[in-house]
Amino acid sequence: MTSIQHNLQQVRQRIAAAAARCGRAPEEITLLAVSKTKPASAVEEAAAAGQIPFGENYVQEGVEKVQALAAHPHLEWHFIGPLQSNKSRLVAENFAWCHTVDRQRIAQRLNDQRPLTLPPLNVLIQVNISDENSKSGIMLEALSELAQQIAELPQLRLRGLMAIPAPESDYDRQLAVCQQMADAFQQLKQHYADVDTLSLGMSDDMEAAIAAGSTMVRIGTAIFGARDYASKPQQ
Ligand SMILES: *Cc1c(COP(=O)(O)O)cnc(C)c1O
């Protein structure tokens, strides 16, 4: 077993333990392996241990990996980074999911650029739940209007919500923020039959996210090790 495979096993155990503590089944929580800045060979190692969904933050890097790993068509690629309009076509053409839709204009572009030969792109609305410094994500007040607009686009499938809470080390405060997201998710679910995904929880807050009701945790460092940004230009 490689170290990536060992780490994956540990993260899966952490998810199972967190789920058990709040009476949830571990199968309710999908592990998204965040492979940004890591080579295709690292993805292959994780894939060999049964990992299927992978998350990428940078469009160009993500597309290169998707194409390099075309021999593994069962892998499921999620775009989880900030999305600029001029990169939306690459996301629409190469990914199965986009977690960071936060405005009508970008939703419309993804819809128009999604090839008709592919199934609709699964999208999550990114909510800015607690991070005043972040420009990504919409406010909760604007959620229902954007959800309605997305639901009308035939090449998009609204699956739920995503958030990146501001870093917070106190468990109870993490839980309070995650609970706000979970409430918004439950409300959205009542209006849209396809909504089933709350993408919430990273290495440092996944226990609180799972306790609140997250259905997808996004984990990078704990699986692939620390990222070396020096060797990779940012996009
Ligand atoms: C990088 C990243 C992650 C993974 O973070 P780690 O701390 O490496 O687990 C999760 N979600 C998003 C949106 C990210 O950009």
CATH of the domain at 209: 3.20.20.10
Q: Is 211 in the pocket of ligand 1 (CB under 6 A)?
A: no
Which of 128-142, 190-204, 209-223 shows the lowest mean pLDDT across its residues? Answer: 128-142
Which pair of structure tokens corresponds to residue 17? 């333990």
> Considering the domain boundaries, does residue 10 fall inside one?
yes
233 confidence band (pLDDT: 50, 70, 90): low
225 CA to centre of ligand 1 in angstroms: 12
User: Could you tell me if the CB of 220 is within 6 A of ligand 1?
Assistant: yes
Q: Is 40 within a domain?
A: yes
Residue 185 lies in a domain: yes
Tell me how far CA of residue 75 lies from CA of 16, 104, 116, in angstroms: 22, 28, 20
Q: Is residue 233 part of a domain?
A: no
* Most informative mutation of 202, 224, 228 for ligand 1 (most atoms within 8 A of CB): 202
Q: Indicate whether this model's pTM tops 0.85.
A: yes
Is 70 a member of any domain?
yes
Query: Is 207 part of a structural domain of the chain?
Result: yes
Looking at the 3D structure of the chain, how many domains does it have? 1
What is the band of 232 on the pLDDT scale with cuts at 50, 70, 90? low
- Sign (positive or negative) of CA dihedral 223, 180, 151, 146: negative
What is the reported pLDDT for 235? 47
Residue-number span of the structural domain to which 140 is assigned: 3-227
Atom of ligand 1 minimally distant from the CA of 80 = 13
- Span from the CA of 13 to the centroid of ligand 1 (angstroms): 19
Q: Which atom of ligand 1 is nearest to the CA of 164?
A: 13
> Is position 234 within any domain?
no
Residue 227: predicted pLDDT: 86
